Structures are given as structure tokens and as C-alpha cells.
Structure 1
């Protein structure tokens, strides 16, 4: 895995959990708007919209660089529209990055601690 691919996956990971949190907060704000006088939906709507757009941009970049199959790319997209899906995306992306590092280390036998970049 080259450095640009690793960076693309890292960016997607970094935005996936905050996007999931903002989605959950937006749902809570929507319920509160309908049951109380509290209305934070406009603010949380903007926050979630910005994070969702960032997720989509980083998702497209990661798909392009990591050469994901259509099934994998669709899974990460689906996780972005499901509440708490960003947490699962973060976990899968972390595992994918760790597997890539392990593969790079084993690709160069006898040189422990080095990674092909």
C-alpha cells in the first residue's frame, strides 16, 4: 500500500465516527424538536451535512486509491447512511489498514520493522 492510499483510508476513518455521532445527535434533536420547545435541528443539520459531504468525498478518494470492489465500496457507502454505521466503517477500515501493513511487512522477509511504501 502506498502512502496516498494509506492517507485516503486514514482520512475516511477520521471522519466516519464524527459523521455517525452527528447523525445520532441530529436524530435526537429531531425528536426533541417535536416533543419540546428545543430546536437545534438547523445547527445539527448543517454540522451533519458538512461531515456527510466530507465522508462522501473521502469515500470516493479511498475507493479510487484502494481499488475496492463495487461490493466493498457499496458497503462503506451504506454504512454512511445507517445510524451508527460510521462506527462499523471505522472498525473495518482500521482492520483493513492493519492487514495492509502486515502484508507489506511479510512481503519483505528478513527485514522486520520495515514497511513497503
Structure 2
């Protein structure tokens, strides 16, 4: 059985796991506009690590390819990303464990 690795730099907050299905439902209510390419046009996305052991709400991410590296200071943050995260966390009544900041997520599937 083949194993797939993905690595992401994710700007977001780690929240107490309320269940990914509940968050998926809440995030689906965001306006269904396509990405504008404007880094300040924040859209909240859900990342889970492990079997929902860690849940991250993120407004920005970068996929890192195999054998690629990035300097952490080169990862930019949109002006509205933090405010958008706080708004979602407050509206959903979530407990923030960490962030907002950049997290490195290794997905193994």
C-alpha cells in the first residue's frame, strides 16, 4: 500500500477539537466566491492532523514540495488573516490552544 506525504506551512490557530464535521458545516457558510488572488482576501479553511487530534483553522497556507525548503520569514501574512481567524473563533465559541502563527503540518496518508 503506497504512502503519500504532504507538507504544508499553515497560518492559523489550533483549536480544541469540536469535531471536523461541525467545523466543515460552519465553514461551508462562507461566501462561495473563488479565490481572488488578493492575499488580504481571507478565507478560513480546516486542517486536521492525525485522527482529528489537532484541528487548525487557517487563513493561508503554502504546500511544500518534496526536497523543498522555505525560510520561515519569507512566509507572508495577509493584513486581514488574524482578524478573520478571531472572528470565526469567537462566532463558533472555540477555545484556541495556540496561534495565530505559522504551523508546519506533515500529512501522511
TM-score tier by shorter-chain length is 0.3 to 0.5
**Higher strand proportion:** 2
**Higher helix proportion:** 1
> What is the TM-score with the length of structure 2 in the denominator?
0.33
Structure with bigger gyration radius: 1
> What is the TM-score with the length of structure 1 in the denominator?
0.31
